[in-house]
Amino acid sequence: MGFQPVVLVVVVTYITLLILWGVYQGRKVRTGSDFAIAGRKLPGWVAALSERATGESSWALLGLPGAAYAMGLTEIWTAAGCVAGIITAWALLAWRLRDEAEKYNVSTFTEFLEAKHGEQGRILRVISSLAIVFFFFFYVGAQFLGGGKTLHTLFGLKPAIGGLITAAVIIPYSVYGGFSWFFGYLGGQPQLSVRFMAISDPRQAKKARL
Helix (H, G, I), strand (E, B) or coil at 97: helix
Q: How many CB atoms lie within 10 A of CB 24?
A: 12
Q: By residue range, what is the domain housing residue 120?
A: 5-207
pLDDT-flagged residues of the chain (< 50): 208-210
The confidence score (pLDDT) of residue 53 equals 74
Work out the angle between the directed axes of helices 121-155 and 5-26 (0-180°, nearest 10).
150
Our count of domains for the chain comes to: 1
Report helix, strand and coil shares of the chain as percent, to nearest 5.
85, 0, 15
The confidence score (pLDDT) of residue 172 equals 81
The confidence score (pLDDT) of residue 210 equals 47
The confidence score (pLDDT) of residue 161 equals 93
CA–CA separation, 57 and 76 (whole Å): 18
The confidence score (pLDDT) of residue 204 equals 53
